[in-house]
Chains A and B, each alone.
Chain A
Amino acid sequence: MNWESGSEDPFDSIFMADNRFHCEAYREGLAEGTRQGLLEGMSHGKMHGARLSAEMSFYYGFAFAWKCLLQNNTDAKSRKRLRALEALAEHVQAFPHDDPRHASLQPDVEKARAKFRQVSVTACPGFRHSSVTGQELVP
């Protein structure tokens, strides 16, 4: 219905005004809500993405550096450590931790944490990283 031309019939504008006001305001609110939602969502998403990425990147950097340091060692213990480090680095690279829509993000993150615990115990006894305390993910 064309509301502008509806003013020709005064009864129409009265009876339908209720609906018209609601619709007009709804449209305005929808635009504002979309803007607000986008900003709020971005802000929250950024924080969660940053935290998780910092943690996963930490694991990758840790594994990569240890791999470089141990790569020339040929003893069995070092080989075993190397395998664990490679597994951690590969796992972190294998899943898209920067994609909140990734279906198995939480299990993959937990798996990376578990692998890191294992690696840090064997590669560096006594080392502990605050990220391993566990963080709740918000998909």
Chain B
Amino acid sequence: MAWVKSVSVVSEDIFDEDGNDIILQHKEWNNNMSKRVKDGYRDGVDAGKEASLQRGFNIGYREGAEQMSVVGQLKGILSALQCWCQLQHPGSPAFFSVSHLLQDVSRHEEGLIERMKMSMGQQRPPPSVGEITEGVEDLGMEHSSTGCGGGGCSKEDCCREEQSPDGGPAALQAPCQGNTHPALSAGESMEQLLKSCMDLVVELGLPEELFGHLQQLSESVIDRRQLKLAQVTKTTSGYDVACAVPDVDAIGLRFCV
């Protein structure tokens, strides 16, 4: 460090009596000072970590809780529907449709948790503007071009009402694997799953209150996605990219890239 050097030079001037002694003293001085610097730095890091860990934990906790709220509720709703179908119509197509959709939701939930685990392991530095811009592109508008029939989906007719082969309800068909399509953001996948569930509720003639609740969840997911998109867009056009780190992470942008 610059100040270590400057002080060493000063000491050389003061104790300039014997060349060998000076070299030894110089070395000893440097060793002592670099040790002090290392100790100070380590103490500072420890103190800083101790002071900010809990604050970070609290922020992250809320973020994580918010992220899983909808998918958790949807999983609970579908589990209840599965129980109900099992009791009311065991072995019916409705039961299998609900089970299938429940599996998709569970996969989506596991995917979200996995992403969090990955980000925990990586502890990456703040993303560059380029990364965020790519993320915005993915978040934004690949939805229309890579829908259900995209490369990740083997069934052409899945999730498409108009292509229902037997004329039956689309919701009762196997839900699309594209729910976890990598090109779709977490929010978009969630919207698809909620829509499938709403279709299912309508097809089974279940109470409107349940449909209304699912609609509310869907709206909250859309609102949240748009809010995040607006935040990221604002950040990329601004100058303080580092401030966007939690938000970018929260919507899983880095995993879309």
A: residues with CB less than 8 A from B are: 7, 10-11, 13-14, 17-18, 20-66, 68-69, 71-72, 97-101, 123-124, 127, 129, 138
Contact = CB atoms under 8 A, between A and B. Distances in A.
B227 interface: no
B45 A30 contact: yes
B2 to A, nearest CB: 10
Contact of A45 (B6, B33, B39, B58): B58
Contact of A54 (B51, B68, B77, B117): B68
Contacts of A44: 56-57, 60, 120
A51 B66 CA distance: 11
Q: Which of B7, B48, B58, B76 has the largest count of A CB atoms less than 10 A from its CB?
A: B76
Please list the 4 inter-chain residue pairs (A to B) with the smallest Cβ-Cβ separation, ordered nearest first.
Answer: A29-B44, A33-B48, A41-B56, A61-B76
B7 A57 contact: no
Contact of B39 (A22, A30, A69, A129): A22
A98 B62 contact: yes
A37 B41 contact: no
A50 B67 contact: yes
Interface string B49-70: 1111111111111111111111
A20 B57 contact: no
A53 B72 contact: yes
Interface in B1-54: 1, 3-4, 6-7, 10-11, 13-14, 32-33, 36-54
Instruction: Determine chain A's interface SS by DSSP, over half rule.
Output: helix
B77 A21 contact: no
B207 interface: yes
21 contacts: A7-B10, A14-B10, A18-B32, A28-B41, A29-B45, A31-B44, A35-B48, A37-B48, A39-B56, A42-B63, A42-B246, A43-B60, A47-B64, A51-B68, A52-B65, A54-B71, A57-B73, A60-B73, A61-B77, A63-B76, A98-B61
A38 B56 contact: yes
A57 B72 contact: yes
Contact of B75 (A7, A31, A61, A100): A61
Given A22-B36, A37-B49, A62 B76 contact: yes
Given A17-B33, A22-B37, A41 B11 contact: no
B45 A46 contact: no
Given A42-B246, A47-B64, A124-B87, A21 B76 contact: no
A114 to B, nearest CB: 17
Interface string B114-142: 00110110010000000000000000000
B58 A100 contact: yes
B211 to A, nearest CB: 9
B40 A22 contact: yes
B81 interface: yes
Contacts of B62: 45, 49, 98-99
Contact of B64 (A29, A35, A45): A45
A41 B76 contact: no
A101 B46 CA distance: 23
B113 interface: yes
Contact of A50 (B58, B112, B246): B112
A20 B37 CA distance: 9
